[in-house]
Amino acid sequence: MKVSVIHAAFGDTPHVVAFVDVPDGTDDTKAMDYAYRWTNNVMGSWSRKEKFFEDGSENGDYNENVTVMAPLHEGGMGLRSTSMGDQMLVGTKKYEVAMFGFEEIA
């Protein structure tokens, strides 16, 4: 299963920032939970596709199941975390990241 992560919050023009491969047999909600976690900057940078930074520290947000689809910011700064108001596409269903969970949208 693949989840498309679309950044649309904060006045962004909606654009795909990542495709996240989720283990088979996962329902939509668990798939989006997984995609949400792995497109957030918790212990590093999810969008900088390196296990270790230049200083030798580990990038705890690296996940080989995440394919970054948007360019990094100038100077190699990673992309922002997925936030409330962003969207996820699972199959043909589109959801918005809500305050608690996800809400299906048209």
Query: Percent of the chain having pLDDT more than 90?
Result: 87
- pLDDT confidence of residue 12: 81
DSSP states of 2-52: EEEEEE--TTPPPEEEEEEE--TT--HHHHHHHHHHTTS-SSS-TTS--SB
Residue 55 binned pLDDT confidence (cut-offs 50, 70, 90): very high
18-38: pLDDT as tens digits: 999 998 888 999 999 999 999
